[in-house]
Chain A
Amino acid sequence: MNIVVLVKQVPDSGSERKLDPQDNTVARATADNVINEMDEYAIEEALTVKEAQGGEVTILTVGPDTATDAIRKALSMGADKAVHVSDPAIHGACAPQTSAIIAAALGQLDYDLVLCGAESTDGQVSVMPALLSERLGIPQLSGARKLTIEGGTAKIERQTDGGYWALEAPLPAVVSTWDTINEPRYPSFKGIMAAKKKPVQNLTLADLGIDPASVGLATATSKVVDFAGRPPKGEGVKVTDEGDGADKLVGYLAAQKIV
């Protein structure tokens, strides 16, 4: 079972994140960058499938050179090797363009299963499986809280409001995972040391046969026109409960005509 896991590097969702006023793209160079937390669940799931069924786990990342940190983290968790697509022309790419780059890179790999996170915490688009399914003509099994591989079939429980949908599709397929699917392992010291020697293949757009003019900010299918910080909220009222907290709370709701 050869598995490719899509891993993105994102600005830490716990730190202050910004858009770059120069070109309205995510300010990645100055950010506190980390592996997209949601992708750790996809890596964990890939390692679990590999441990049960054998095969190889390859990390695929599209992003600037700094994304090597996220790749090393994935390798230290136990993935076997990585492919890193980096090219200055990719800067400012939109989701459909990124999906074209990922699809082209997948075209050079031998895979039975593609795993990715349910969303990237910077863009929160959540559509990569749908875009890749459309481009590659392979089935989409998105939003999994459970994955089972049986012979040539992948089955998932797609998390829904108050329950799940049982889905199945033939391999190869692209599966995205929610944070309910497993508990990602921490890299061991041994894993961290081993990761330093694992192969990372660097690819450019030319290596993938993609015209640099067809991706990136200038030709993106959508763009940010302008942006602003959220206007600060007016100072709220804060009261301390001295036996009258509930009265004051209900009084406030009444003044707002809520009760």
Chain B
Amino acid sequence: MAEVLVLVELNPAAGGPRKTTLEALTAARALGEPSAVVIGAPGTAAGVKDALAEYGAGKVYVAESPEIEEYLVAPKAEVLAQLVASVSPAAVVIPSSPEGKEIAGRLAIKTGSGFLTDVTEIHPDGTATQVAFAGATIVHSQVTVGTPIYTLRGNSVTPEPAPAAGAEETVQVTISEAAKATRVVDRVVEQKSSRPELTEASIVVSGGRGVASAENFAVIEGLADSLGAAVGASRAAVDSGFYPHSFQVGQTGKTVSPQLYIAVGISGAIQHRAGMQTSKTIVAVNKDPEAPIFELADFGVVGDLNTVVPAATQQITARKA
């Protein structure tokens, strides 16, 4: 069976691979047998190998070097390109983070290939599905040159176990001087959240300008915590200083595709829809019955969020107790 390289993205906070990696291993199986590629500091592979094998990795290529994390993106693209040259895979699948997309782009230039970013499904014939224009258009596309490279949008595929051998193969790492141009001097964490990561969460509760203040975002956080959900925000809420930018959902923020998206005090502008339209179920709370968010909502409540949301939170907490 054809070999498909899957770049492993790690979850430094929780240890182990990110969920997007397991999704990529699952999606890659449409094209052949996935081989996971771990590129990182020495000792990186030890903590993730078992999970990779469980989700279908026949092989685990391990490329470890203390230098890899010292520079931005380029060393990983270089190692991956060397691997593509030596194993001639049928395709390469990479989780669609900012770094993942940049690695895909560099790999495409190095290998003279085409790439497709943010695909939501990979089909056995090599074509892929993408969502364009704020979710309004579903596109079916294809790489026509070289080794197809895909970046897979998070939460578009359900990870399914498919135990495989996970045979480890060590990859010699040589990083060129050119790939050492951009130095990572520091990695700074400003907010540490106990909530699930926005793009991985199965439930997201987002607040908009209607929440009216930073303090009042406690209403959104309360509902999120009762559901074990991540918190998101509209750009208007972020621009008004109610919530930090890294939680922004939409065209210039995160793209989320959870099982359930609850939009509270959000009008549903097209740029906001761009980041949440593919959610499986959409619920909206808004006091304006004409708000465009209701066009998308499976269930909408016309009402004041300050009464509806705290009451709902209380009921959910009571049910769970």
Contact = CB atoms under 8 A, between A and B. Distances in A.
Interface stretch (B34-42, B82-90, B104-112): B104-112
Contact of B227 (A17, A139, A254, A259): A259
Q: Is the interface of B mostly helix, strand, loop or mixed?
A: mixed
Interface stretch (A82-90, A105-113, A184-192, A219-227): A219-227
Contact of A19 (B105, B135, B137): B137
B113 A221 contact: yes
A52 interface: no
Interface of B: 72-74, 77, 98, 101-106, 108-110, 113-118, 127, 131-146, 178, 181-193, 197-198, 203, 227, 245-246, 251-252, 259-260, 269-271, 274, 277, 281-283, 285, 289, 294-304, 307-309, 311-312, 314-316, 319-320
B140 A225 contact: yes
Output the residue of A13, A118, A121, A253 with the most chain B CB within 10 A: A253
A151 interface: no
Give 6 nearest A-B pairs by CB, closest first: A241-B303, A221-B114, A246-B311, A127-B105, A139-B181, A222-B114
11 contacts: A18-B133, A121-B251, A130-B106, A131-B109, A161-B197, A234-B298, A236-B282, A237-B298, A238-B300, A238-B302, A250-B319
Contacts of B140: 224-227
B312 A250 contact: yes
Contacts of B144: 220-223
B200 to A, nearest CB: 10
Contacts of A18: 133, 137
A248 B299 CA distance: 10
B173 to A, nearest CB: 19
Q: Is the interface of A mostly helix, strand, loop or mixed?
A: mixed
Contact of A159 (B145, B246, B294, B319): B246
A233 B282 CA distance: 11
Contacts of A247: 315
Interface string A101-133: 000000000000000001101101111011101
B138 A227 contact: yes
A134 to B, nearest CB: 4
Interface of A: 13-14, 16-19, 38, 94-96, 99, 118-119, 121-122, 124-127, 129-131, 133-135, 137-143, 145, 155, 158-170, 173, 178-180, 219-230, 233-234, 236-241, 245-250, 252-254, 256, 258-259
Contacts of B110: 134
Nearest to B309: A246
A236 B294 contact: yes
B127 to A, nearest CB: 6
B83 to A, nearest CB: 17
Nearest to B223: A249
A127 B181 contact: no
B191 A225 contact: no
Contacts of B131: 230
A130 B73 contact: yes
A95 B142 contact: no
Given A168-B185, A250-B312, A230 B136 contact: yes
Given A163-B189, A220-B114, A221-B145, A133 B134 contact: no
